[in-house]
Amino acid sequence: MQKHTLYNLVRTSILSVSVLFLSMCSSLVVAENVSDSRLNQIETIVIIYAENRSFDNLYGLFPGANGIFKNADGSDTNLANYHQVDRDGFSRLITFPAVWNAQGTKAIDKLSFVADLPNIPFKIDGAPGALPDTLGMNYPTPDLVHRFFNNQMQINGGKNNMFAAWSDAGGLAMGYYNGAPMKMWQLAQQYTLADNFFMGAFGGSFLNHFWLVCACTPKYPNAPEALLSKVDKNEITLIVDKSSPHSALLGKPIYMADKPLTPDYYAVNTLQPPYQPSGIAPHKNADKTLADPDQNPLPPQNSMVTKTIGDTLSAKGVNWAWYAGGWHEATENRDVIYNIKKTNFQAHHQPFNYFSRFSPTTEEGRKERQLHLKDYADLQKDIQAGTLPPVVFYKPQGNLNQHPGYTDVMSGDAHIAELVSSLKNSRQWQKMAIIVTYDENGGYWDHVAPPKGDRWGPGSRIPTIIISPFSKTNYVDHTYYDTTSILKLITQRFSLEPMQGVRAKAGDLSNAFVEAK
C-alpha cells in the first residue's frame, strides 16, 4: 500500500510539472503570437529621423518618464549622481566650464552665465539659464562636439560624468529645455513615448545613419594615415595632446588625432559620400556624378557584402523609399549643400548614397536611385495620393532637423508635427505606424547609462515617439530599445532576412502597440 501510494504521489507530481511546463510553453507561444499580431496589423511604417538631441535635453521633464528629477517609478533622483568631474576622472567640478566653442562669437555674451552655474543639470530656457527670447528653443545654440570616441569618453563607463570635461561646449552639454511647448511633446502625451531608447552607435550623425539602415560600421581599407585617430590601448580614449589644458575650466580639449577613422580603418566620424550630392565637388575632368576621389570621400560600400534594410526589403519584393528634404535641389545645385543661408542640405545624412547599389555611374544604379532615393516633395505627393510604400524613411533638410549650431528646436518641431498631421489625414493612416526619433544625442548629457552592447554602441539615450492607431495611448514605454530596434521591427513585420548587426536584446517596438482585435 505504501509503495502504491508513493507511486501515485510521484506520478501526480510528474503530471503536474508536465502540465505546468506545457502551460508555460503555451504562454510563450501566445506571447509571440500577440507580438506578431501587433505588428502584422501595420501596413505602412514611417520613420522620421531628426537630429542631435538627448532624451533629457528635450523630454527630461516629461511626466511619467525616467527624467532628470524623477525616476521611472516616480521616486526622486539624487542630483549628486549627476555631478560632473574634471579630466583627471575624479575631481568634482565646482562650477561648469565656459562654452569654449562660443569664444569670439556673439553667442558668448548670451552663454556667459554657464561658467557661473553650480555643477548640476540646468534649464537653458529659464532660470538659471537665459530668457526664452534669447536662448529658448527658438534660438540655435552653438554646436557641441559629438564624435565616436568623445561620446564614449563622456559616458565614462556608464557614469555619464564627463560630458562637460570632454565637450568643446563646456557646461552647455548639461543644459536641458522644458519641452512642454513642443507640438511633438503633445503628441507624445497622446501616443507612446519610449524613454529607454538609445542611439545605435556612439558618436555622430554619419555613423548613426549607417546604423539606421544597415546596423553596420563602414570601412575604408588602406586609407591615408592622416585619416586615422590615435587612441589608447583600450580603443576608447583619444590620446590627449601635450598642449591640451589639463582642466576643463581652462579650455577645450586638444587631441593628437581625432580623425574620421579608427586605427583599423573603420569610418566612425564624418566622411563624404562618393556619389553626388556630396560635400566634395566632382573633379573638373571626371564624372560629374562622383565626388573627387583625391579629396578622400568614403569609398563605395559594397552592397553585395554589406546589406542594408533596403536590400532585404527589395529581395522580399517590399517597396521602400528614403525621402530627403532638399534632395532634388542638392542634385541640381551644389550651392545648397552645407549652406546655412539656404536649404542646408546635409550630404552625410544620406546613408544609401554611400552604397554601390546606388552608383549613378551604372544603369542599374541610376534605376535604384530613381526608385528609392526621393525628395520631400515626392513624399508630400505620395501622402496625398495614398501611395506611400510600405517602408518610408524621411530625413528633414538642415534648417528643419533640430540640429544645434545651425538651427533651433522649434522650427523642426513644427515641421515634423505638420508632417505627422498630414500622415494622420492620409488614406493610409488607419494601418500606419509613425516612429519619430533622433540620430544621436548631439553632445548633450543624458543621465541613463547605455546598456552593454558591442564595440560600436549603443550610445546615449534619445527621444522616440510611436504614433499609430495601434499604439498605446498616453503611455511611456520603458522597454530597452536602440536604433536597431527599428530594423528589427521592419524585419519581423515583413519576414525579411535578419540583419547581423541588430542587437538581440533590443526590443522590436511591439510593446508600444496594442494587441490586435
CA distances from 149 to 76, 207, 267, 280 (A): 32, 12, 12, 25
Q: Which residues pair with 406 in a beta bridge?
A: none
Pairing of strands 391-395, 320-324: parallel
Within-domain flag for 506: yes
- pLDDT tens digit sequence for 270-319: 999 999 999 999 998 889 999 999 999 999 999 889 999 999 999 999 99
Q: Which residues pair with 96 in a beta bridge?
A: none
- pLDDT tens digit sequence for 324-343: 999 999 999 999 999 999 99
Q: Is the dihedral of CA 162, 166, 172, 173 positive or negative?
A: negative
Q: Which amino acid is at 76?
A: D
Specify whether the CB–CB gap between 352 and 310 falls below 8 A: yes
Within-domain flag for 10: no
Q: Which amino acid is at 488?
A: K
How confident is the prediction for the chain on average, in pLDDT?
91
461 φ/ψ sector (left φ>0, alpha ψ -120 to 50, else beta): beta
Q: Is the pLDDT of residue 22 over 70?
A: no
Q: What is the 3-state secondary structure of 371-383?
A: HHEEEHHHHHHHH
- Integer-rounded Cα Rg, in Å, for the chain is 24
pLDDT tier at 135 (50, 70, 90 boundaries)? confident
With CA atoms as reference, report the closest residue to 164 among 155, 156, 173. Answer: 173
For residue 308 the three cell numbers come to: 542594408
pLDDT score of 109: 77
Q: Which amino acid is at 144?
A: L
Q: Is the pLDDT of residue 29 over 60?
A: no
With CA atoms as reference, report the closest residue to 391 among 487, 295, 315. Answer: 487
pLDDT tier at 435 (50, 70, 90 boundaries)? very high
Residues in the chain: 517
Per mean pLDDT, which range of 26-40, 70-84, 129-143, 381-395 is the poorest? 26-40
Residue whose C-alpha cell is 562622383: 290
SS3 231: strand
The number of CA neighbours under 13 Å toward the Cβ of 222 is: 0
Cα 296 to Cα 314: distance, rounded to the nearest angstrom:
30
pLDDT score of 1: 41
Specify whether the CB–CB gap between 286 and 295 falls below 8 A: no
Domain limits for position 54: 43-67+178-218+271-512
- pLDDT tens digit sequence for 334-371: 999 999 999 999 999 999 999 999 999 999 999 999 99
Residue 488, judged by CB atoms within 10 A of its CB (0-12, 13-18, 19+), counts as: buried
pLDDT score of 112: 87
Within-domain flag for 223: no
Residue whose C-alpha cell is 532637423: 401
Per mean pLDDT, which range of 8-12, 126-130, 395-399 is the poorest? 8-12
What number of helices (H) and strands (E) belong to the chain?
A: 13, 12
Burial letters 40-70, b for 16+ CB under 10 A, else e: ebbebbbbbbbbbbbbbbbbbbbeebbbbeb
Residue 227, judged by CB atoms within 10 A of its CB (0-12, 13-18, 19+), counts as: middle
pLDDT score of 73: 87
For residue 29 the three cell numbers come to: 507561444
Within-domain flag for 335: yes
- pLDDT tens digit sequence for 450-500: 999 999 999 999 999 999 999 999 999 999 999 999 999 999 999 999 999
Residue whose C-alpha cell is 507640438: 183
- pLDDT tens digit sequence for 152-185: 999 999 999 999 999 999 999 999 999 999 999 9
Q: Which residues pair with 175 in a beta bridge?
A: 122
- Other CB atoms within 10 Å distance of the CB of residue 458: 27
What are the residues whose beta carbons fall under 8 Å from the beta carbon of 286, sequence distance 6 or more? 292, 293
What is the phi/psi pair of residue 304, to 5°? -80, -25
Number of domains forming the structure of the chain: 1
Cα 16 to Cα 98: distance, rounded to the nearest angstrom:
68
Q: Is the pLDDT of residue 4 over 80?
A: no
pLDDT score of 131: 60
Residue with the larger pLDDT of the pair 127 and 373 = 373
Within-domain flag for 244: no
Within-domain flag for 299: yes
Q: Is the pLDDT of residue 382 over 90?
A: yes
Average pLDDT estimate for 192-217: 98
pTM: 0.92
Cα 500 to Cα 168: distance, rounded to the nearest angstrom:
35
> What 8-state DSSP symbol labels residue 96?
P
Report the CATH number at residue 455.
3.40.720
Within-domain flag for 9: no
Q: Which H or E run contains 434?
A: strand 432-438
pLDDT score of 28: 30
Within-domain flag for 439: yes
